Structure 1
């Protein structure tokens, strides 16, 4: 599957292909933002596409990527199992919990959860 734009929960979402290129730099994140300008307001990125440095908060990479999405007024959703990363980092657990309380960046286990959450969001 290539990246595709699809409706989930009544919202236009750019679904990123799990087999796509890794997101390891700010430029990679900006490429996704550019692709979203085809009409998507949400970018759903499979967790396995994110470089390990995204989950190591000391690198600041997650903050840089998240801030880019905020600046462009796009919602970033990390989709997939990140339990190993969460087990290794209390700071990451706190970031995920706080992010999921708000509307800009979410961490969800699968697309059906994303669909339900988007449908429930005003």
Structure 2
């Protein structure tokens, strides 16, 4: 499947929004998407909650940590758009809050919030 993006200029940063209907199950799959965006000049990526498999939101699986480590390693920023207040896990809520605090990974409610978070 070909990975499709929409690109935005966000100040001096090029941002890629994932448009493809793909479900990301692993850090390796995310890395393929990251590299696709990177090779087209993007330093930030926007994805939607629906792009992530349920295992991402179950912190015990380690999928979220593995994926977010890739963004740290490759110095790329990520915004995930979705409704995150539906989850009952306190550890997930803490994880989201801490991620948003440091800014490399941002959990946002809409595209405007995502673009703003990635411009900081």
TM normalised by structure 1 equals 0.87
Kept after mapping to 2: 8 A contact 1:10/1:118: no
Kept after mapping to 1: 8 A contact 2:59/2:92: yes
C-alpha separation in 2, matches of 1:27 and 1:45:
16
C-alpha separation in 1, matches of 2:11 and 2:112:
9
C-alpha separation in 2, matches of 1:32 and 1:78:
14
1:1-122 pair list within 5 angstroms:
2-8=4-10, 10-17=12-19, 20-37=21-38, 38-85=40-87, 88-119=88-119, 121=120
Q: CA deviation at 1:9?
A: 5.1
TM normalised by structure 2 equals 0.88
Over 3 Å counting, the alpha-carbon distance change for 1:62 and 1:82 in structure 2 is: same
Ranges in structure 2 where 5+ consecutive residues have no aligned partner: none
Deviation beyond 3 Å, 4+ runs, structure 1 = none
Kept after mapping to 1: 8 A contact 2:77/2:118: no
Q: CA deviation at 1:8?
A: 3.4
Aligned pair count reads 116
Q: CA RMSD in A?
A: 1.5
Q: CA deviation at 1:117?
A: 2.9
What secondary structure is seen at the aligned counterpart in 1 of 2:102?
coil
Higher RCO (CA < 8 A, seq sep 6+): 1
C-alpha separation in 1, matches of 2:110 and 2:12:
17
